[in-house]
Amino acid sequence: MEEIEIEILNGQKLQGPPTAAEVQIVLKAKGVSNPEEEYPLFTAIDQICYHGKDVKDFIKCLQNHPEHN
């Protein structure tokens, strides 16, 4: 992520990943038991950017999003 910010964005910070991480903290504090189901996009972004999940999981998340079922 840092390389992308430096090389492509000329040092500008990406907003999505930090926001997704902060949302996860709030969800945990609020006692949300299954954020993957209730907030799948925020959870997928956080997992991919900060916890080593494969970016392909984001596509799966989009395909399985409740709006499409």
Averaged pLDDT in 10-residue chunks for the chain of 69 residues: 79 85 93 88 90 86 71
Tell me the CATH architecture of domain 2-68: Orthogonal Bundle (1.10)
Q: What is the pLDDT of residue 46?
A: 93
Res 24: pLDDT = 94
Q: How far apart are CA 63 and CA 19, in angstroms?
A: 22
* pTM score, whole prediction: 0.71
Output helix, strand, coil percentages for the chain, rounded to the nearest 5.
65, 0, 35
CA dist 38 and 23 (Å) reads 12
Q: Domain segments of the chain: what residues?
A: 2-68
